[in-house]
Amino acid sequence: GVCGAYQTLGLRISDPHGMEAGGDADGLGLLPVTTTLAREKTTRAVAGRTPGGVQFGGYEIHLGDTRPHCGADIAPFAILEDGSRDGARVPGVIGTYLHGALEQPDVCAELFGIERPVASSKTEEYERLADWFEVNGKTEWCRR
């Protein structure tokens, strides 16, 4: 999940300042993280690397501050150039605030355990991704 989808994959989203609907909401509970919406939006271009060493660029644009629940030690999606950690990885679920990261063929190759896609267009890359989901049993939604 990227951005709001990342937040939704967590345990809880709190909105103490009423920036969206206000109050608290349960997440899907697929990542051991909690999010608190801030008063000001984070917007910035970033560079980072995956745990496997793939370097890439992306950008953040979000209100949330997402942290491991109760100090859990969670593998990050990426390490940013300033040394901070972004996102979370657990078996079968990944969350990040980094828009554009999944448009990088080498990042996708690492995440999905496939050879680096060699495609002539973004459409072709999406087709390869849909094929991967089909092979791995996720066919009910990937071709809609």
Residues identified as active-site: 3, 99
Cα separation, 133 vs 144, in Å, equals: 12
Residues 1 and 10: beta-carbon distance below 8 Å: no
Helix (H, G, I), strand (E, B) or coil at 131: helix
Phi-psi region of 123 (alpha: psi -120 to 50; beta: other; left: phi over 0): alpha
In angstroms, how far apart are the furthest CA atoms of the chain?
46
Residues 90 and 72: beta-carbon distance below 8 Å: no
